[in-house]
A and B are shown apart, each in its own frame.
Chain A
């Protein structure tokens, strides 16, 4: 891959690392039993602990720990038998304790890696530095009153996993693919709902540029991006900004930036004098977290098939390309749908590529157009399987099948029903097709003359006319063959 950016004066390379904050899928918070339900009325899910009342103490939610371990395993990472919760001290109105409980020196999960797959069939490993557990803060609402700020503590104390990558990412696309891959793994594991819009998954992006082969440059961190589109935009803007500064003889100041989604620009969040000293120290209210190999083993055995395993299985079993298989496994619902479709008829496994295409192009575009996703698709995997079976046995043409699918989508009927009701079976009778072709030839003598005179392109015209007469039902290959034969015979 060529990742070189041409500057005015030099070639440049971008170096990117991501810190992903993923909300742990759990009914209750990391250190209290309050609910984590999204969208509840403000301050309705706040326990005494979440509000940091005097004398209240955190108690670790074991389920959240298991979720983190599960995720670590899914990221091919080392699970640490010993980890420690630290306090990160700073004042903010929506941080009731005056500190966030996080993990600093001893995270629960150590080094791991994930693989991203490119369209050209190649792939790349992105290394993970660590994953640690921490509490989310509440939310400050500045727009409710001109002179007041309100605080909603529903999120306060919700468990987050911070997943930190090495600076192995070199393009905005890779950054997008990396976060998609992480999201996919978390959703397969059911450890995060992956909902970026609701903020269940968001990322801080660390960016620097360097001349190829040089040491890493000074980085800036763009905080709190909650869509892949914004991540790419922010990277592109920030890289351009940094190159411009460097090429005009300036230097990059290490800084924390915010990305303005309406202007597409980044700006510094605070200046150096305001830089925080978080005064991390082990939280004396909590004991170190100890997890035995036995417990890890137990969690490991509960883990479902992950996208990469499934991808390899699909490649092996159905002879799919690496890219097709990775698209199919990117989301659990897609691979589930594929599995159900292909298993709905024993013949279909020989037409796996067709199944992939019908899911990822035809069905996806219909779903997109109707703002639906696979989970609420009006076309069930069995019905799609039936449709593909009709195509594979030449009962209907691919072109007709598209119309049938649309009909299935809106009416909820099966492919068979529609084909039978509308008489859409493909015409595969040689004589019948020949009869139609004769008719076309007889009715268009001038065209025949021109065609025979060398205007080869007119073949399409004859095909079209014949198709029209058969209402699109003629088997295209047979139609073509017979047509060519007849027109040559004339010669």
Chain B
């Protein structure tokens, strides 16, 4: 199956080789065929047809006119419900459009549907969703695999060719890990590059929107479309957004890549160490200087993340209380009971677990030992990267410690599940941009991902290194 890329499709639309309607009919057909993957929480053919009708009447030139895009169901959208994969928002219809999705609409893209995710983006397998598991399109007949998470629905949508690109959010690896599991490209830009306005919050200081696509070129086109300053988000950055696609340059001669020794972890499968080495060799051949670097606080990243993210989540999710919108329990005899029953029935196990962890680490008497200490460690981790980037232009590591695992594995072992984030979390804590690209396969012919990290707001370098590796691999 050869999937057409966004770049080629834009050309075909431009030269009238294909019409917007024909293009999207093709995707609609596949979406209906692949219904068993449970990629979408919300899909409405009627809604897609309406968007096609509207675009056909629209004579203005738009960059992504007619391009089918899937939206992670954490982005609030006016034309479709927004659930965050939670029962507590089961019937929530926003009256507003998130910054990122508005930008895509302004460019003329077509939203094919809202994709599945782990409830409130908390998970690594898209198995905590109130709306059931998403199945990795690369699964064999009788062995359903997890697509990774939390943006598993969006990764699967691209992998199954149900769209030409998809939005995701990444808090600790939620774009990069599922991209790796599904064999697609996933970029999490620098914290602050894309406004968080209109994205249901998980952990405010880490959440960042990003893009899934078939290849790096498409990724560079789409990221440019969703990036930009937004005065409604105080953490949004006032930076110029370059034309990443126009500036793509796969000549890495003279650049330096950092290889952090702390990312060689005992128990990492041979195949993963192998593709990492392969990638380094490819870079070396291209004239890239290999620099062994040290990020000494890496081992503290995971525990630090699992203090900070739940702490912020415990507060961010307090607004889902049954008072104003969303689910409210029927069993109410008092205000306290309304809260207790609404939240007990409205949230799933993983969300409740993280709310409890977060509440605990912020409690009087524990704050200094957990939250405050975690913030200090976070600073040290960020400093590690700052130091390292004085000696190199980008860093290359594996994306995840394994290929896609069977759907029901790790279901009941949160610690094991949390370990999925071991390579992605440090960059999240430091707010750095990172991309995962498919690079090699394991013994079961499942894709493995290589992660490229860059300096703050140096997405261009990340794309350049990624496109270079990608082209050499093809």
Interface residues of A (CB under 8 A from B): 48, 51-60, 87, 89, 91-93, 96-99, 149, 151, 277, 279-281, 284-287
| Sample of 12 more A-B contacts, CB < 8 Å, known A55-B196, A149-B335 | A52-B319, A55-B198, A89-B314, A91-B318, A97-B319, A98-B315, A98-B317, A98-B321, A279-B314, A285-B204, A285-B235, A286-B234
A204 to chain B, nearest CB (A): 20
Are A99's CB and B89's CB within 8 A? Answer: no
Are B197's CB and A57's CB within 8 A? Answer: yes
B337 to chain A, nearest CB (A): 12
User: Which among B203, B204, B311, B364 is the interface contact of A277 at CB below 8 angstroms?
Assistant: B364
> Which residues in chain B, 245-272, are within 8 Å of chain A measured between CB atoms?
none
Are A91's CB and B82's CB within 8 A? Answer: no
| A-B complex: 9 closest residue pairs judged by Cβ atoms | A98-B318, A284-B204, A279-B362, A284-B205, A54-B200, A52-B319, A55-B198, A277-B364, A55-B199
Known: A91-B339, A286-B234. A55 touches B197 (CB 8 A): yes
Q: Does B96 sit within 8 A of A, measured CB to CB?
A: yes
> Which residues in chain B, 56-97, are within 8 Å of chain A measured between CB atoms?
75-76, 82, 84, 89, 92, 94-96
Contacts of A285 in B (CB 8 A): 201, 204, 234-235
Q: Does B281 sit within 8 A of A, measured CB to CB?
A: no
Q: Does B215 sit within 8 A of A, measured CB to CB?
A: no
> Which residues in chain B, 345-376, are within 8 Å of chain A measured between CB atoms?
359, 362-364, 367, 371
CA distance A51 to B319 in the complex (A): 9
Are B318's CB and A97's CB within 8 A? Answer: yes
Residue with the highest number of chain B CB atoms closer than 10 Å, among A99, A151, A285 = A285
Interface residues of B (CB under 8 A from A): 75-76, 82, 84, 89, 92, 94-96, 98, 196-201, 203-205, 231-235, 311-312, 314-315, 317-319, 321, 323-325, 335, 339, 359, 362-364, 367, 371
Are A53's CB and B94's CB within 8 A? Answer: yes
User: Which among B234, B319, B321 is the interface contact of A54 at CB below 8 angstroms?
Assistant: B319
CA distance A231 to B321 in the complex (A): 35
Are B319's CB and A59's CB within 8 A? Answer: no
User: Which among A55, A277, A279 is the interface contact of B98 at CB below 8 angstroms?
Assistant: A55
Closest chain A residue, CB of each to CB of B99: A55
A411 to chain B, nearest CB (A): 57
Are A89's CB and B96's CB within 8 A? Answer: no
A437 to chain B, nearest CB (A): 83
CA distance A284 to B208 in the complex (A): 13
Contacts of B335 in A (CB 8 A): 92-93, 149
Are B362's CB and A281's CB within 8 A? Answer: yes
Closest chain B residue, CB of each to CB of A281: B362
Are B200's CB and A96's CB within 8 A? Answer: no
User: Which among A57, A91, A280, A287 is the interface contact of B321 at CB below 8 angstroms?
Assistant: A91
Number of cross-chain contacts by CB at 8 Å: 96
CA distance A93 to B338 in the complex (A): 10
Are B234's CB and A58's CB within 8 A? Answer: yes
User: Which among B200, B234, B359 is the interface contact of A287 at CB below 8 angstroms?
Assistant: B234
Are A54's CB and B362's CB within 8 A? Answer: no
A-B contact pairs, 14 of them (CB 8 A): A52-B324, A55-B76, A56-B197, A57-B234, A59-B232, A91-B339, A92-B335, A97-B318, A149-B335, A279-B362, A279-B363, A280-B362, A281-B315, A286-B234
Contacts of A51 in B (CB 8 A): 324
Contacts of B76 in A (CB 8 A): 53-55
Are B323's CB and A96's CB within 8 A? Answer: yes
Are B318's CB and A99's CB within 8 A? Answer: yes
CA distance A116 to B139 in the complex (A): 78
Residue with the highest number of chain B CB atoms closer than 10 Å, among A57, A89, A96, A99 = A57
User: Which among A48, A92, A99, A287 is the interface contact of B96 at CB below 8 angstroms?
Assistant: A48
CA distance A57 to B196 in the complex (A): 8
Contacts of B323 in A (CB 8 A): 93, 96, 151
Contacts of B98 in A (CB 8 A): 55
CA distance A99 to B204 in the complex (A): 15
Known: A48-B96, A285-B235, A287-B234. A55 touches B201 (CB 8 A): yes
Residue with the highest number of chain B CB atoms closer than 10 Å, among A58, A59, A97, A281 = A281
Closest chain A residue, CB of each to CB of B335: A93
Contacts of A280 in B (CB 8 A): 362, 367
Are A281's CB and B319's CB within 8 A? Answer: no
CA distance A48 to B324 in the complex (A): 11
Contacts of B201 in A (CB 8 A): 54-55, 285
CA distance A56 to B82 in the complex (A): 14
Contacts of B89 in A (CB 8 A): 54
Contacts of A97 in B (CB 8 A): 318-319
A273 to chain B, nearest CB (A): 13
Are A277's CB and B363's CB within 8 A? Answer: yes
Contacts of B204 in A (CB 8 A): 284-285
Contacts of B371 in A (CB 8 A): 281
CA distance A52 to B200 in the complex (A): 11
B127 to chain A, nearest CB (A): 22
CA distance A54 to B371 in the complex (A): 24
Are B234's CB and A87's CB within 8 A? Answer: no
Contacts of B339 in A (CB 8 A): 91
CA distance A53 to B323 in the complex (A): 11
CA distance A87 to B311 in the complex (A): 11
CA distance A444 to B198 in the complex (A): 96
Closest chain B residue, CB of each to CB of A57: B233
CA distance A54 to B205 in the complex (A): 16
Are A53's CB and B363's CB within 8 A? Answer: no
Contacts of A286 in B (CB 8 A): 234
Are B315's CB and A89's CB within 8 A? Answer: yes
Residue with the highest number of chain A CB atoms closer than 10 Å, among B76, B95, B197, B318 = B318
B179 to chain A, nearest CB (A): 23
B357 to chain A, nearest CB (A): 13
CA distance A99 to B84 in the complex (A): 21
B429 to chain A, nearest CB (A): 13
Contacts of B312 in A (CB 8 A): 284
CA distance A286 to B314 in the complex (A): 17
B202 to chain A, nearest CB (A): 11
B340 to chain A, nearest CB (A): 10
Closest chain B residue, CB of each to CB of A93: B323
User: Which among B197, B311, B315, B363 is the interface contact of A99 at CB below 8 angstroms?
Assistant: B315
Are A60's CB and B315's CB within 8 A? Answer: no
Contacts of B94 in A (CB 8 A): 53-55
Residue with the highest number of chain A CB atoms closer than 10 Å, among B95, B362, B367, B371 = B362
B168 to chain A, nearest CB (A): 15
CA distance A277 to B360 in the complex (A): 11
Are B318's CB and A55's CB within 8 A? Answer: no
Are A89's CB and B319's CB within 8 A? Answer: no
CA distance A470 to B89 in the complex (A): 88
Closest chain B residue, CB of each to CB of A85: B234
A218 to chain B, nearest CB (A): 19
CA distance A285 to B235 in the complex (A): 7
A148 to chain B, nearest CB (A): 11
CA distance A287 to B199 in the complex (A): 19
CA distance A144 to B234 in the complex (A): 38
Contacts of A279 in B (CB 8 A): 314-315, 359, 362-364, 367
CA distance A286 to B82 in the complex (A): 25
Are B96's CB and A53's CB within 8 A? Answer: yes
Contacts of A57 in B (CB 8 A): 196-197, 232-234
Contacts of A284 in B (CB 8 A): 203-205, 235, 312
B172 to chain A, nearest CB (A): 14
Closest chain B residue, CB of each to CB of A89: B315
A377 to chain B, nearest CB (A): 46
CA distance A51 to B37 in the complex (A): 36
Known: A97-B318, A99-B315. A60 touches B324 (CB 8 A): no
